[in-house]
Amino acid sequence: AQSVTQLDSQVPVFEEAPVELRCNYSSSVSVYLFWYVQYPNQGLQLLLKYLSGSTLVKGINGFEAEFNKSQTSFHLRKPSVHISDTAEYFCAANTGNQFYFGTGTSLTVIP
Amino acid sequence: GAVVSQHPSRVICKSGTSVKIECRSLDFQATTMFWYRQFPKKSLMLMATSNEGSKATYEQGVEKDKFLINHASLTLSTLTVTSAHPEDSSFYICSAERTGTGTFNEQFFGPGTRLTVL
């Protein structure tokens, strides 16, 4: 079975500081990887995705992630966070048609 | 970009009643749609896969007689929570799969429906 692990359930960070949200996946087959952001009482908004090609993926709002096959990781990074980045972030893997979601990381940006 | 809507966004109902939630792909056709439930701990759980014109495929542990899914057209899937109880209160999210040109069909998520059963 596939699984996605987000080790950090909560990440507080000061405004304008860098942040990394960790994600590891387990898959014995080719996998597509995603990061979604969810604001309170809203659906999921795609931040970025890795399907193939370059392992460094740039997304919206200044976020980027790097696919590391040897470490089975897809960590999300942003060099300088804003208050508006406070939200829930989900890592997800897709092996063709089904999504497997991590349990989410709550990012809180402190003024 | 592809847009998926859900209606209603919030619904409050009495225990024992049924509630229908609609999921629509607004600017593309979706042969396949998915229904998720998001628990208070925030993780999303796939409930079922809805295929246009055929019966839905339910994940293990999901009661198909309680969560009725109908995918009557290429742009609409509905989830009906029958005889709802307080433990059915949750955030329900749908996604619609858009056929791509490569090996991956991307999914687009709806904004979710908050169901509260009193």
- pLDDT tens per residue across span B59-68: 889 999 999 9
Q: For A28-72, what is each residue's pLDDT tens digit?
A: 677 899 999 998 878 888 899 998 888 999 998 999 999 999 999
SS3 A74: strand
Q: Residue B38 corresponds to which tokens in the numbers above?
A: 């998001």
Residue B104 has pLDDT above 70, yes or no: no
What proportion of chain B, given as a percentage, has pLDDT over 70? 93
Which residue reads 């994940």 in tokens? B59
CA atoms within 13 A on the CB side of A15: 5
User: Can you say how many angstroms the Cα of residue A99 is from the centroid of all Cα atoms in its chain?
Assistant: 14
Peptide bond into B8 cis (omega under 30): yes
Mean pLDDT of chain A, nearest integer:
91
Instruction: Write down the pLDDT at residue B101.
Output: 62
Q: How far apart are CA A58 and CA A36, in angstroms?
A: 13
CA terminus-to-terminus distance, chain A: 41
Cβ distance of A101 and B43 shorter than 8 Å: yes
- How confident is the model at residue A75, as a pLDDT? 97
The answer, for B97 touching chain A at a CB cutoff of 8 Å, is: yes
Span A90-95, average pLDDT: 89
Tell me the shortest Cα–Cα distance from B10 to chain A, in angstroms.
10
Shortest distance, CA B117 to any CA of chain A (angstroms): 17
Contact A97 B105 (CB under 8 A): yes
